[in-house]
Amino acid sequence: MEGGNFTMNGVDMSDITVTFNQDGTYISDGEYFTVLVEFSIDGMEFSNQITNDNPFSSGTWQKDGDNLIIKNTGDTEVYNYHIDRLTSNRLDVSLDNYRIVEDGIETTVKAEMGFRR
């Protein structure tokens, strides 16, 4: 079996709002976002739009140098995003080489997100 490639690109994130409070907490509104999933395996290519649950709910955040550390309430996972751009009205972050293991299948994820005020 030949190796495969997998990409996911946000198509519609307009339903999600994240509010970062000065006390180190955050809260999010909105339920879903839509992504275009494209993958190839054994030389065959597939694509499909899927709707995912909002990855943010509420929790804590901390800025540590060029990193934004996010922990969702009730989740043991800590997400360490790199801050690519931070201005008075824009925050761009990325997550590189994030490992997910589900049903015995390991996937490495790279994500980029932008927030605007």
Q: Could you report the per-residue pLDDT of 72-89, keeping only the tens digit for each?
A: 999 888 889 999 999 999
Assess whether pLDDT exceeds 60 at residue 32. Answer: yes
DSSP string, 43-59: TEEEEEEEEEE-S--EE
Q: Which domain holds residue 51?
A: 4-116
Assess whether pLDDT exceeds 60 at residue 22. Answer: yes
Q: What is the pLDDT of residue 2?
A: 46
How much is the average pLDDT of 101-117? 76
Q: What is the pLDDT of residue 4?
A: 63
Cβ atoms 107, 100 nearer than 8 A: yes
Reported pTM:
0.72
Give buried/exposed letters for 44-75 (b at 16+ CB in 10 A, else e): eeeeeeeeeebebeebebeeeeeebebebeee
How much is the average pLDDT of 85-105? 83
How many domains, the chain? 1
**Bigger pLDDT: 65 vs 104:** 65
pLDDT category, 6, cuts 50, 70, 90?
low
How much is the average pLDDT of 65-69? 95
Assess whether pLDDT exceeds 80 at residue 92. Answer: yes
